[in-house]
């Protein structure tokens, strides 16, 4: 039996000496590489925190002590060490382990994390709660350097530094090489500065010198100067944290003693560690971006380029963006740290001065775009549906209120499969359609996507085009930049009695149902402005109406249709189909759509119940 197989819980780690913990880390890294190669998932980020995961669970008393992982896509080692090793083969699979932390999954998962930069806020809340309840527990937030670009992280730091809560923030810095100051001298100094002797001396010295203001100020400046020579911690000290580091996050001989010392300290502590994404797997070390999120692969061969006969919607957007940028020099492309995921790779190379990656800062992205639009630019913000939720106020107040021509290219609309509920785009139609001045388009195939992107771009106001993850039905794509009539749908099939009004990606399944039922099928194309004339015509010429969308039913496109019917005083039996009023778990996309009743068989079944015999 391997050392890893003997670990059933973090309690087992505490029985191992330092040499054994190093051996365990090596086994754990190998296990993660093998496991992810079989299931797919996040790889590079997980390989970078193996030693940190081992150190945290060996030093802290989890789950009583809380560890809050930012985003959660670097928690595979954490999952394995907390009793889920034998279920790793189900990772991100239907009814299997989540790819992120999940409170319902384990008592060791302190907080659900799918969006970045939330860890410090959540951990601070837990630390304050412990203090209010008189519980002696420690709370740790692990956050990456990329997540520190979000304003929320700094809001939390600012708040935490003013409180006397026992909170440790670990900055996992994996975007820089381990420079000279992360060597033996700095490791020694960090262990020294994290020790009780130094901190007691510091605390009592402050009390003594506070009665002698000039000397106290001199001592404070001297300390800052000395620490500033070996650490970049002045910023975090100003927030009220005791800054320690940077240290090598892969060196257990430094990491564990430092954490043991910090665990004895009171108040807000900040530990800066430096790690390497993809550590231990050469291909991931060389290209951590490529190996961030992976499909199944052969370990010895690595990721092979996929050959697809059909472009994804993301690729269609990327090509359209390049073509429109060529035609209109006013166009600028903006992304909140999702260049590759949103299809902007080629755009960055062809139009580098018109490309802006603002980091994980969705709120800033929208207001930044608003500022550009005020000065005559035509911003296109490429953003996932789930991340647009974070910039809702900015969309309303800074973009829509001023009726600015900011275009949202909303990727990952609808269900997203293995990434699960934290990344699903289930709500964007509902939260967008209530905003004045908005145009909302829902393409049903590849060519329509390109056409509606052009339509939205030319619209003189805020606009959004939502499209799903993956490929479409395979429609032939025109290379022109033609637009479509705003607010007008099209009848794809003429039938009798039943009219299906479909929005976006569900049109493909609806075609099968319409043919089987001899029903009329309308591809509505727009949620706002919605095609009132088409709705009226279909309502008057059919006995039953069915609305269909890959968005929650409440407040969605179906609701928009119902509102029109009420205004027109048309009473017509109407069935609204869409995503259910619950968070849809991760799994195979086809299985999830079937469970939600949004595949052809599910739609048929719903119609059978709705229509009379």
Cα dist. 182→45, 228, 248 in Å? Answer: 20, 14, 6
Rounded-to-integer distance, Cα 245 and Cα 224, Å? 14
Rounded-to-integer distance, Cα 467 and Cα 491, Å? 20
Is 504:443 a contact under the CB 8 Å cutoff? yes
Residue 180: other Cβ atoms inside 10 A: 8
Distance spanning both ends of the chain, measured CA to CA: 63
Is 127:136 a contact under the CB 8 Å cutoff? no
State yes or no: is 390 an active-site residue. Answer: yes
Annotated catalytic residue, options 378, 390, 412, 528: 390
Annotated catalytic residue, options 362, 448, 549, 550: 362
SS3 329: coil
Q: How buried is 392 (Cβ within 10 angstroms: 0-12 exposed, 13-18 middle, 19+ buried)?
A: middle
Rounded-to-integer distance, Cα 423 and Cα 420, Å? 6
Angle at 113 between CA 110 and CA 118, to 5 degrees: 95
Rounded-to-integer distance, Cα 452 and Cα 482, Å? 9
Query: Among 153, 168, 181, 161, which Cα is nearest to 245's?
Result: 181
Structure token pair of residue 279: 């550590």
State yes or no: is 277 an active-site residue. Answer: yes
DSSP codes of every residue in 415-427: --GGG-TTT-B-S
Residue 159: other Cβ atoms inside 10 A: 17
Residue 158: other Cβ atoms inside 10 A: 13
Annotated catalytic residue, options 277, 450, 517, 528: 277
Residues acting as catalytic residues: 277, 362, 390
């Amino acid at each position: 039996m391997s050392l890893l197989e003997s670990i059933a819980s973090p309690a087992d780690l505490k029985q191992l000496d330092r040499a054994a913990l190093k051996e365990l880390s090596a086994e754990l890294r190998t296990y993660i590489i093998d496991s992810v190669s079989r299931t797919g998932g996040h790889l590079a980020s997980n390989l970078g925190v193996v030693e940190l995961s081992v150190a945290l669970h060996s030093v802290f008393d989890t789950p009583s002590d809380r560890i809050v992982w930012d985003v959660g896509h670097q928690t595979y080692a954490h999952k394995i060490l907390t009793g889920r090793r034998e279920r790793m083969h189900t990772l991100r699979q239907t009814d299997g382990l989540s790819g992120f932390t999940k409170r319902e999954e384990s008592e060791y998962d302190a907080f659900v994390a799918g969006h970045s930069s939330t860890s410090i806020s959540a951990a601070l809340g837990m630390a304050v709660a412990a203090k209010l309840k008189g519980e002696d527990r420690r709370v740790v937030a692990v956050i990456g350097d990329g997540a520190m670009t979000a304003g929320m992280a700094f809001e939390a730091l600012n708040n935490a530094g003013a409180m006397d809560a026992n909170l440790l923030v670990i900055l996992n810095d994996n975007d820089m090489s381990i420079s000279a100051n992360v060597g033996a001298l700095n490791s020694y100094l960090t262990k020294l500065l994290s020790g009780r002797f130094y901190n007691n001396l510091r605390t009592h010295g402050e009390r003594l010198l506070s009665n002698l203001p000039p000397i106290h100020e001199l001592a404070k400046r001297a300390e800052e100067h000395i620490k500033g020579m070996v650490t970049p911690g002045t910023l975090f000290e100003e927030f009220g944290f005791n800054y320690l580091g940077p240290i090598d996050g892969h060196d257990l001989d430094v990491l564990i003693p430092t954490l043991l010392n910090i665990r004895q300290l009171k108040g807000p502590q900040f530990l800066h560690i430096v790690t390497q994404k993809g550590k231990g797997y050469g291909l991931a070390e060389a290209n951590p971006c490529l190996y961030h999120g992976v499909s199944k692969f052969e370990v010895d061969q690595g990721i092979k380029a996929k050959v697809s006969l059909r472009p994804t919607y993301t690729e269609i957007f990327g090509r359209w963006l390049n073509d429109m940028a060529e035609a209109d020099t006013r166009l600028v492309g903006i992304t909140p740290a999702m260049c590759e995921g949103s299809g902007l790779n080629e755009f960055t190379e062809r139009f580098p001065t018109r490309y802006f990656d603002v980091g994980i800062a969705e709120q800033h992205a929208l207001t930044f775009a608003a500022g550009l639009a005020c000065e005559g630019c035509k911003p296109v913000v490429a953003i996932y549906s789930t991340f647009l939720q974070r910039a809702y106020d900015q969309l309303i107040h800074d973009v829509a209120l001023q009726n600015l021509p900011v275009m949202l290219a909303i990727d990952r609309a609808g269900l997203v499969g293995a990434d699960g509920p934290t990344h699903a785009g289930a709500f964007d139609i509902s939260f967008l359609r209530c905003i004045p001045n908005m145009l909302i388009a829902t393409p049903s195939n590849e060519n329509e996507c390109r056409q509606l992107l052009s339509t939205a771009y030319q619209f003189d106001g805020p606009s959004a085009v939502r499209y799903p993850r993956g490929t479409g039905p395979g429609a032939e794509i025109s290379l022109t930049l033609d637009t479509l009539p705003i607010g007008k749908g099209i009848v794809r099939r003429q039938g009798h009695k039943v009219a299906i009004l479909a929005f976006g990606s569900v049109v493909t399944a609806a075609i099968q149902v319409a043919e089987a039922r001899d029903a009329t099928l309308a591809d509505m194309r727009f949620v706002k402005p919605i095609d009132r004339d088409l709705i009226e015509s279909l309502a008057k010429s059919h006995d039953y109406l069915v609305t269909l969308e890959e968005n929650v039913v409440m407040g969605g496109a179906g609701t928009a249709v119902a509102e029109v019917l009420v205004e027109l005083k048309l009473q017509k039996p109407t069935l609204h189909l869409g995503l259910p009023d619950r968070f849809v778990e991760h799994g195979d996309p086809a299985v999830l759509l079937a469970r939600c009743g949004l595949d052809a068989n599910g739609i048929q079944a719903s119609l059978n119940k709705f229509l009379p015999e």
